[in-house]
Amino acid sequence: MNNYAKCIEKKPTVKVEKQELKHKKGRQIGIMGGTFNPVHIAHLIAAEQVLTKLRLDEVWFIPDNIPPHKNAPLVSAKDRATMLKLATNDNPRFRVKLLE
């Protein structure tokens, strides 16, 4: 089995300290930023795990407009945002925010 097969075989995990949110005020929102070039299942799994473990109300996906660490994105910001909207459309607690 090659390294790639081993990587996709493992499920990403998010370790979080247990904490009680007894005095919850307002909405609890997680923010996931990145290039999402392309968005893939690991992004969605990690967001779902954090949503559940921290008992968040929503997770906001914020794609980079122009990634600072890459020369030129192969996919335009508009197309990456569209792909992200399609990938997150099935989860009513996922939002795509084009703040960048």
In the chain, where the domains are located: 26-96
Say whether the peptide bond before residue 38 is cis (omega within 30 degrees of 0).
Answer: yes
| Mean pLDDT per 10-residue segment, the chain (100 residues) | 47 48 74 92 96 97 82 81 96 94
Task: Give the pLDDT confidence score for residue 5 in this predicted structure.
Answer: 45
* pTM, two decimal places: 0.71
Roughly what angle, to the nearest 10 degrees, separates helices 77-88 and 41-53?
A: 50
Domain 26-96 - what CATH class? alpha beta
Q: Going by C-beta distance under 8 Å and a sequence separation of 6 or more, which residues neighbour residue 62? A: 31, 32, 33, 96, 97, 98, 99, 100
